[in-house]
Structure 1
Amino acid sequence: MVYETNNETVDDALERVLAGERLDRTDGLALLAQPVEPLAEAGAAVRDRFGDGTVDACSIVNAKAGNCAEDCGFCAQSVHFDTGIDTYDFLGPEKVLEAAKRAERDGAQRFGIVVAEKGVSKENRPEEWEEVLESVRLVRDECDLEVDASLGILTEEEAAILAAEGINHYNHNIETSPNYFPEVVGSHSFADRVKTLETAKAAGMDLCAGVILGMGESPTDRVDAAIALQDIGISSLPVNVLNPVAGTPMAERGGNITTEEIVKTVAVYKLLHPESRVRLTGGREVNLDPDEQHLPLEAGADGLLTGDYLTTEGQSPGEDLEIVERAGLEPNRETNEFDPEEVKARYGDSAESSTETTANTGAEPSDD
């Protein structure tokens, strides 16, 4: 099948991607400068060629909230900022399993265990480490879900143990470009993030690593972040859009990203990462109107983070399924064979939707 958008720059890049060529930084910058319509067509064409025609849903649990020593400027869980969130120690394996079962019932295919701290440490906090491992085992053994984790920095030993326990994807977002990263985080470096991803990958885990848009970064930064992820090698690229949390530096500096910019960035990311899931995650409900949320899916995105995030609420899984349908796509049911109509019926009542979201006890972009 020949795809043409009647935009020479886009069509040239699309032809090369479909032929198996990897686009570079120059391509990404040229593409991001093009109109949204041909980019969206090209992103969808890449998804059609390299994907399976489905939208993959993941869900997360905020298994340990707040009091993080890092100073990530977007994060409500940093001890450096007064954001008023609830804080708690590790929930415990049974509560993590309970959240996973809700996610399974609501159609998620994968479930991420997230801990808000620099890193879960086998050496420094052995009891917590064992609770994390027991949580992984319970979810792995009792749910039809892929088990993912976002636990901060890892040693080689820790990564090997997690891989052996069956962690499918390790999430550790790079957040933004190497150049803009110091404007967002001061307590660790972009290189620290990359090292953790390389450690997880070397242990045999697939990588889920992405960005937060709308933090004051330039379009060039958005492309440079995607190129950095090419070099790392990922299979899932979460695209968060800043949901400014009062008390964080980014609540004053970030924001003001348009729907067109979000859709164009998603399409370009799909062209730069044709074989990865480009996943819509935190902040999409705040930055996109309900009648716009299908647009990034129509532009090549093929994944969602459904339900709540880390310290902010998401919309219901039933609403997410309706957005998938509006984009003309099907939900992925390969791992968890659920009935979409049952999920939509369960969340049909707005009162129930407001009290029974997917997996969380709180939320934000997928790693804050």
Structure 2
Amino acid sequence: MVDEIDNTTINTAVQSVVEGEQLTRRDGLALLAQPVEDLAVAADYVRSRFGDGTVDACSIVNAKAGNCAEDCGFCAQSVHFDTGIDTYGFLDPMEILTAAKRAERDGAQRFGIVVAEKGVSKEQRPGEWEEVLRAIRLVRDKTDVEVDASLGILTEEEAQILAEEGINHYNHNIETSPRFFPEIVETHSFEDRVKTLEIAKEAGMDLCAGVILGMGETPTDRVEAAIALQDVGISSLPVNVLNPVAGTPLGEQFGDSANITTEEIIRTIAVYRLLHPHARVRLTGGREVNLSKDEQHLPFEAGADGILTGDYLTTDGQSPGDDIKMMEAAGMRPNMDANEFDVGAVKARADDDDDNPQTAAGTATSNAEMGD
């Protein structure tokens, strides 16, 4: 047991988790009310009990940017909002491979091909569908990273093809609780997102699905979202923190920072670890904006064990070398299950590029060529 915690609620919850029981909504709400210091210790204990002491890094490429017909209130890529981002159709698969090789060099274990649209459609856009498959094959065959994808809503046939092509994790975030979801998105439903996750899982892909914190949701919404993810069954839980983008509804509402404190971020991640003891709880977008550089290690001392490294879809990230230094500050080390890489070289590049950090992937067209 966690001897240093004198808290019956937390100790009972940890004991249940260790004995293989799944915590409930009621447990999650009770835990959320506990002191953050005790929650962090308990979550770190559960992570160490079921994890391997590593931080698993993924990286992404924005393979098709902007002009999305959906109206997600946080998204710079929606055609409904004037955000001034660059827009383009599906990238040449060789550009995607370039981004994947960069991610591989900089320590990513998995690489996600992401598009901004409701769904890549085999029937409606067969040419684009074939380019997606070509990109998957190139990354699969020419790198050591696991290939993931975030391609929107899927049919059963599309999911089966993606699984057969070797997609490891399918990402489709639920964003928030069922109750709060209609406040953020009107053009599709929470149930639509869950249905795609179920289809992807049935086809044989692991699931990466998570949330965005700080959009105006309540603490109860944060727990409700985690419980919904329990019902789906996920192996990776990305925790984004809103990075408000000018021109989006949430950017206009919140300005420069999310509607959440550092303590609430840490508290939520700790509770998510206890509710999802076997998943990678992955700190992803918005961490650089909402946590200072001296605070970024704290979620990894409160149960987190995954990260999205490099650039995001439309915003910059910090360098992979700085991410590794942050892991080490939390007493952890990079995962190398899929891709063994030179940790020292990655950190050295961060030191060399302090004024202009070269991040792992993000938008492939902004990256230096690395050959095929």
Partner of 1:60: 60
Partner of 2:42: 42
Q: How much has 1:362 moved relative to structure 2?
A: 7.7
Q: For 1:67-92, what per-residue CA distance to the aligned partner results, in whole angstroms no more than 9, with x for missing partners?
A: 00000000000000000000001111
Q: For 1:253-291, what per-residue CA distance to the aligned partner results, in whole angstroms no more than 9, with x for missing partners?
A: 342311000000000000000000000000000000000
Q: How much has 1:222 moved relative to structure 2?
A: 0.2
> Alignment RMSD, CA only?
1.2
1:161 matched to 2:161: yes
Amino acid aligned to 1:301: A
Contact kept, 8 Å, 1:67 with 1:79, in 2: the verdict is yes
Alignment of 1:43-122 (within 5 A): 43-122=43-122
Q: For 1:119-169, what per-residue CA distance to the aligned partner results, in whole angstroms no more than 9, with x for missing partners?
A: 000000011000000000000000000000000000000000000000000
1:214 matched to 2:214: yes
1:195 matched to 2:198: no
Cα distance in 2 between the residues matched to 1:15 and 1:38: 14
Amino acid aligned to 2:310: G
Partner of 2:370: none
Runs of 4+ in 1 over 4 A off after TM superposition: 1-4
Alignment of 1:1-368 (within 5 A): 3-254=3-254, 255-351=258-354, 353-354=356-357, 356-361=358-363
Q: How much has 1:350 moved relative to structure 2?
A: 3.3
Cα distance in 2 between the residues matched to 1:69 and 1:256: 26
Cα distance in 2 between the residues matched to 1:136 and 1:24: 38
Cα distance in 1 between the residues matched to 2:96 and 2:253: 35
Contact kept, 8 Å, 2:2 with 2:45, in 1: the verdict is no
Contact kept, 8 Å, 1:285 with 1:314, in 2: the verdict is yes
Q: How much has 1:52 moved relative to structure 2?
A: 1.1
Q: Percent identity?
A: 75
Contact kept, 8 Å, 1:347 with 1:353, in 2: the verdict is no
Identify if the C-alpha distance between structure 1 residues 211 and 362 changes in structure 2 by more than 3 Å, giving closer, same or farther: farther
Q: For 1:269-323, what per-residue CA distance to the aligned partner results, in whole angstroms no more than 9, with x for missing partners?
A: 0000000000000000000000000000000000000000000000000100000
Amino acid aligned to 1:207: L
Q: How much has 1:6 moved relative to structure 2?
A: 1.2
Q: How much has 1:349 moved relative to structure 2?
A: 2.1
Contact kept, 8 Å, 1:309 with 1:362, in 2: the verdict is no
Q: For 1:91-123, what per-residue CA distance to the aligned partner results, in whole angstroms no more than 9, with x for missing partners?
A: 111000000000000000000000000000000
Partner of 1:366: none
Amino acid aligned to 2:338: T
Cα distance in 2 between the residues matched to 1:197 and 1:41: 32
Identify if the C-alpha distance between structure 1 residues 164 and 36 changes in structure 2 by more than 3 Å, giving closer, same or farther: same
Cα distance in 2 between the residues matched to 1:298 and 1:41: 8
Cα distance in 2 between the residues matched to 1:88 and 1:279: 28
Cα distance in 2 between the residues matched to 1:323 and 1:177: 30
Cα distance in 1 between the residues matched to 2:360 and 2:353: 14
TM-score normalised by L of structure 1 = 0.97
Cα distance in 1 between the residues matched to 2:344 and 2:201: 37
Q: How much has 1:252 moved relative to structure 2?
A: 3.0
Cα distance in 2 between the residues matched to 1:130 and 1:197: 22
User: Structure 2 stretches of 5 or more lacking a match?
Assistant: 366-372
Q: How much has 1:3 moved relative to structure 2?
A: 4.6
Q: How much has 1:347 moved relative to structure 2?
A: 1.8
Give 3-state SS (helix, strand or coil) of 1:274's partner: coil
Cα distance in 2 between the residues matched to 1:353 and 1:335: 28
Cα distance in 2 between the residues matched to 1:3 and 1:15: 12
Give 3-state SS (helix, strand or coil) of 1:348's partner: helix
Cα distance in 1 between the residues matched to 2:332 and 2:181: 35
Contact kept, 8 Å, 1:194 with 1:232, in 2: the verdict is yes
Q: How many residues align?
A: 362
Amino acid aligned to 1:291: D
Contact kept, 8 Å, 1:114 with 1:151, in 2: the verdict is yes
Question: After the TM superposition, which of the residue ranges 97-106 and 330-339 deviates more from structure 2?
Answer: 330-339
Cα distance in 2 between the residues matched to 1:2 and 1:11: 7
Identify if the C-alpha distance between structure 1 residues 3 and 127 changes in structure 2 by more than 3 Å, giving closer, same or farther: farther
Amino acid aligned to 1:357: T
Amino acid aligned to 1:100: A
Identify if the C-alpha distance between structure 1 residues 19 and 248 changes in structure 2 by more than 3 Å, giving closer, same or farther: same
Give 3-state SS (helix, strand or coil) of 2:148's partner: strand
Q: How much has 1:353 moved relative to structure 2?
A: 4.1
Contact kept, 8 Å, 1:215 with 1:253, in 2: the verdict is no
